[in-house]
């Protein structure tokens, strides 16, 4: 090994040395962190339970639902289940605090607002909003709930800010299911791109940004792109590989002086891509990956798309990226079946970006800037991975409208705490990552709540016995039968 390589290896290993300062007093810092969120709730019980629930989300529990969290923090199961599932407290003040903190720490003028749906597979039919629909988590149509999320990406880091539950039309029309899941009367059907516009209107002025991005599920809607242009927003939105467009830079036959002037033919973006010279692609490094630099090749073109009912849309720039199929992971997530296409060597993604915003003409962005915005989509996927992997974002066991929103809000807050602790710890341990930071409170909280011994064992076994016997009692009562007692057995 050459001296340069040996020196760099030594430096990298030195960055892994973990100081006790990373984890000292982390539980106390959690107590201070939660205070603004407690103050946003009106009741004393809510203020106490929000701290307990966050501690459960940050704990070692393999399943971070209300029942397991209640067992861990030693409160009555029904108390925690009611707090999450049916208590009528509003989660929106918590989101207001979260957005303010994210903007203060991560905000920058050319930040990126990223919208992305995320699915949660479900088995039954009673959870609010569940139906058979495209499930990105499993890459097929399946029984699931879908949430639409607004994230923020800057050069400092990325975080999820707000969310909406996508309520299908059949749920909106079914009054019996609405009442069973406590769906508020004012909640009506909204498309997912309408939910994104609603969140953008709510937070757009408060959250500094220069770009809006999203996957092909949003970009395929010409109305959504039109709404963004009307609001003066610059966007880079994924579109399906079968999007129809006209090349505005193509060479045209000479005009003969009669009839209509010739125009480029309509064709799909994938067909246009296949006709390109293989040397037009420009390679660009978008980030440093764990296995080396992550590179993509890009090409842009000024185009015109076809809208619904064969109307012609405004000018936009088409952006196509490609990466070798041999890469272990793709740069972007696949939102739908036709989000990408591929040949024998490469996988291709397609995007549209605006040439004008609110009647003002925009300069063509550089490839580097486009790559930065496209990368923001993968950052939001990483935010989902953080939430589901470290804070139990997908481990809820609630069926109600309130329960889903309560759990989501607290999961986002738990991840935000871990992110702050990661930034703090990286000051002394540069190699530190968020999952390793999560290991700290998960172990230290065991010391707070798990007083191991015979009394602890008896208390936990009794909790389970009470739960089992209560369930047996109610099952018998529904059949109008008095349940028999389980008599003691003499030890032989």
Lowest mean pLDDT: which of 89-93, 162-166, 356-360?
Answer: 356-360
Give 131-156 pLDDT, tens digit per residue: 999 888 787 888 999 999 999 999 99
pLDDT of the residue at 273: 92
Average pLDDT over residues 271-278: 88
330 falls in which pLDDT band (50, 70, 90)?
very low
Say if strands 235-239 and 244-247 run parallel, antiparallel, or are unpaired. unpaired
Give the span between the Cα atoms of 274 and 265, in whole angstroms: 15
DSSP state of 310: G
pLDDT at 327 > cutoff 80:
no
Q: What is the pLDDT of residue 483?
A: 85
The most confident of the ranges 97-111, 319-333, 439-453 is: 97-111
d(CA 24, CA 441): 10
Phi and psi dihedrals of 239, rounded to 5? -135, 155
Find the length of the chain: 492
**Residue 233 contacts by C-beta under 8 Å, 6 or more apart in sequence?**
200, 204, 211, 212, 354, 357
Distance of alpha carbon 161 from alpha carbon 197, whole angstroms: 14
Give pLDDT, residue 134.
85
State the pLDDT confidence band at 331, using cuts at 50, 70 and 90: very low
Question: Is residue 415 pLDDT above 80, yes or no?
Answer: yes
C-alpha–C-alpha distance, residues 301 and 91, integer Å: 44
Residues 459-478 have a mean pLDDT of 80
Q: Measured between alpha carbons, how far is 281 from 393 in angstroms, rounded to an integer? A: 39
Asked if the model's pLDDT at residue 490 lies above 70, the reply is no
* First CA to last CA distance, the chain: 72
The two tokens of residue 94 are 């918590």
Query: What are 177-213's pLDDT values in tens digits?
Result: 999 999 999 999 999 999 999 999 999 999 999 999 9
Helical H segments across 256-322, by residue range: 269-274
**pLDDT more than 90, % of the chain:** 52
- Give the per-residue pLDDT at 332: 44
Q: What is the DSSP letter of 22?
A: G
Please name the helix (run of DSSP H) or strand (run of DSSP E) that holds residue 49, with its range, or none.
Answer: helix 44-57
Write out the two tokens for 371. Answer: 């790559």
Containing H/E element for 353?
strand 346-354
Mean pLDDT of the residues in the chain: 88
Sign of torsion, CA 86 391 395 146?
A: positive
The pLDDT assigned to 29 comes to 95
Residue whose pair of structure tokens reads 């303010």 in the numeric block: 100
Distance between CA atoms of residues 414 and 401, nearest Å: 20
- Helix or strand holding residue 352 (H, E): strand 346-354
Note the pLDDT tens digit of each residue in 14-70: 888 888 899 999 999 999 999 999 999 988 888 999 999 999 999 999 889 999 999
Q: Phi-psi category of 351—alpha, beta or left, where left has phi over 0 and alpha has psi -120 to 50?
A: beta
């Amino acid at each position: 090994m050459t001296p340069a390589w040996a020196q760099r290896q030594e430096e990298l290993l030195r960055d892994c040395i973990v100081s006790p300062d990373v984890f000292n007093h982390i539980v106390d810092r959690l107590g201070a962190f939660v205070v603004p969120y407690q103050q946003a709730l009106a009741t004393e019980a809510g203020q106490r339970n929000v701290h307990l629930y966050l501690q459960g989300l940050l704990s070692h529990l393999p399943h971070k639902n209300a029942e397991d969290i209640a067992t861990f923090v030693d409160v009555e199961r029904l108390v925690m289940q009611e707090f999450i599932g049916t208590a009528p407290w509003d989660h929106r003040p918590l989101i207001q605090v979260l957005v303010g903190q994210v903007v203060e720490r991560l905000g920058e003028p050319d930040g990126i607002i990223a919208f992305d749906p995320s699915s949660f597979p479900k088995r039954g039919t009673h959870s609010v909003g569940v139906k058979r629909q495209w499930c990105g988590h499993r890459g097929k149509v399946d029984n699931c709930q879908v949430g639409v999320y607004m994230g923020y990406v800057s050069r400092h880091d990325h975080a999820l800010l707000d969310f909406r539950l996508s309520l299908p039309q059949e749920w909106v029309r079914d009054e019996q299911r609405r009442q069973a899941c406590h769906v508020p009367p004012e909640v009506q059907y909204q498309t997912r791109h309408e939910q994104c516009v609603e969140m953008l209107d709510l937070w757009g002025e408060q959250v500094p940004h220069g770009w809006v991005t999203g996957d092909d599920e949003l970009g395929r809607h010409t109305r959504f792109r039109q709404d963004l242009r009307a609001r003066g927003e610059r966007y880079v939105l994924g579109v399906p590989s079968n999007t129809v467009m006209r090349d505005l830079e193509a060479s045209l036959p000479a005009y003969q002086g009669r009839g209509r002037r010739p125009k480029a033919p309509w064709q799909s973006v994938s067909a246009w891509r296949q006709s390109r010279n293989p040397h037009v692609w420009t390679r660009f490094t978008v980030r440093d990956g764990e296995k080396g630099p992550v590179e993509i090749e890009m090409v842009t073109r000024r185009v015109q798309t076809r809208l619904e009912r064969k109307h012609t849309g405004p000018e936009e720039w088409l952006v196509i990226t490609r990466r070798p199929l041999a890469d272990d992971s793709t740069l972007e997530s696949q939102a739908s079946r036709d989000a990408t296409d591929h040949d024998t060597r490469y996988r291709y993604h397609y995007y549209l970006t605006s040439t004008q915003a609110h009647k003002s003409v925009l300069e063509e962005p550089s490839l580097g800037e486009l790559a930065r915005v496209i990368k923001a989509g993968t950052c939001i996927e990483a935010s989902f991975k953080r939430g589901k992997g470290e804070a139990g974002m997908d481990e809820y066991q609630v069926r109600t409208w309130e329960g889903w929103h309560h759990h989501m809000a607290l999961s986002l807050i738990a991840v935000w705490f871990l992110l702050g602790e990661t930034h703090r710890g990286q000051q002394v341990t540069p190699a530190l990552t968020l999952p390793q930071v999560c290991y700290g409170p998960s172990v230290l909280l065991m010391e707070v709540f798990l007083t191991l011994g015979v009394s602890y064992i008896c208390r936990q076994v009794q909790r389970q016995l009470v739960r089992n016997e209560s369930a047996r009692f109610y099952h018998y009562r529904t059949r109008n039968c008095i349940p028999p007692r389980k008599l003691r057995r003499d030890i032989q």
